[in-house]
Each structure stands twice: as structure tokens, then as C-alpha cells.
Amino acid sequence: QDKLEAAYKALRKTGDQKNSFANYTTTEEITIKKPIQKDTKDTLCTTHMRDGIICHENCQLEFNFESGSNNFISCSCMGQDGKCKVCGCGPSSHYHDNTEMVTETKTIEKVLEDIKAQYDMADKTHKKISNYAHQFQETFANLQDQANANYDRIFQLCTDLSKICSRFNFVNELHANIENMRMDARNIQSIDLRKNAESDIRKLETFINGLSNRKNK
């Protein structure tokens, strides 16, 4: 029973540890860029498109999504020197694009790995001790059943003995045994288990006193 009580204490402790690490996730806002399709097309430069530079918005030239040609020499972004008035590059570095990058704020859930590791360890320990506690509980229940059966056997034997030995003094003969049982009960750490043991001892003592009283009448 002491092992069972110790297992329950450990179970409560590991349960508290597990709960203390349960919040191992946090939310974080991030900014992302994603392309969206437009109804119009823009003239971009392969060299400067990453900088977000648009050389000519809503270009009216025939759609051309590839660079490397002189098709854009007639684009309104080109100057008289044949260079783009916006980025300074030649026509061959330009192309059409009908998408644009938009900025979007997104909330994501982030796992705090160090806290998660401690939670997993506490959870593993908690489950292990829970299994031990269950095994101890089953063992104790079996022992309690055996103890109850032994008490019933003692009651029956005392009853039979009282019929056979009319002068047998149960109180005197079993006094030392009952005192030893009381001493053992006082050493039980669990309050509930100690109360159960003391209750069983009182029942036995009451029963024995009853037998002796009947003999004395």
C-alpha cells in the first residue's frame, strides 16, 4: 500500500510537470509576398524585377512573356537612346507580366521545441507511472480481497472454536495478536488505508469480545 501511495504522489507530480509544459506552441505574425493575376500586363526588367520596379504599367504592346528580343524597343518606357527611362536597361532585358506581388500578413502557429521536448518527456514519465499505479492498484485490490477472506476465515474459526472449547478466553489469547495488528496499522503511511486497517481490527476485536461475553453468561 505504501508503494501505491508513492505511485499516486509521483503521478500527481508528473501530472503537474506535464501541465506546466503544455503550452509549447505560440503564434507569430509573418509578412509574405504572393503573386496575384491582373487583367492588365506590365513591362518588367529581368534585372530589376526583384526590386519591385515596374518599367511600364498597363503596356499596350502585344503580350510577350519572354525577354531577349527587341520587341520592347517600341514600349513607351524606352528613351531615345534605346534605354529604359525607368531602369536604364536595353529592350532585350524586358518582358511582360500580368501578375503582381502583394504583401500579406499571416498568423502561424510555432512550436517551441525546447518546451515541447520537456512536455514529451513529462508525458512519457506520467504514462509510465500511471501504468505502475494501475498495477499497484490491482495488486492491492487482490490483497484486500485476500485480507477480507482471511478475516471471514478468522471469524468462522473463532465461532467454531467457541463451540468446541467453552473455557477458551478469546480476549486473553488474541490480545497480543490484535496489538501487533494495531502496531502494523500505525506504520501505514496512507491515511485512508490506515483507517481501513484500523476499522477491520475494531471489527475483529468487537467480534472476539462478543464471543467472550456470550461464554461468560
Mean pLDDT of 121-131: 86
pLDDT at 135: 80
Q: Is the pLDDT of residue 48 over 60?
A: yes
Q: Is the pLDDT of residue 6 over 90?
A: no
pLDDT band of residue 138 (cuts 50, 70, 90) is: confident
Closest among 97, 123, 94 to 42, alpha carbons compared: 97
pLDDT at 103: 86
pLDDT > 70: what percent of the chain?
A: 90
Q: Is the pLDDT of residue 172 over 90?
A: no
Q: Is the pLDDT of residue 158 over 80?
A: no
The span from the CA of 204 to the CA of 198, in Å, is 10
* 57-66, 91-100, 104-113: range with lowest mean pLDDT: 104-113
Q: Is the pLDDT of residue 34 over 80?
A: yes
pLDDT band of residue 79 (cuts 50, 70, 90) is: very high
Mean pLDDT of 84-106: 90
pLDDT at 210: 73
Mean pLDDT of 114-131: 87
pLDDT at 212: 64
Most confident listed range (92-101, 126-135, 175-184, 208-217): 92-101
pLDDT at 197: 80
Helix axes 170-186, 191-216, angle to 10 degrees: 170
Q: Give just the sign of the alpha carbon dihedral 78, 79, 84, 86.
A: negative
* Residues near 57 by beta carbon (within 8 Å), at least 6 away in sequence: 40, 42
What is the pTM (predicted TM-score) of this model? 0.41
What is the identity of the amino acid at 174?
L
51 with 40: CB under 8 angstroms? no
Q: Is the pLDDT of residue 120 over 80?
A: yes
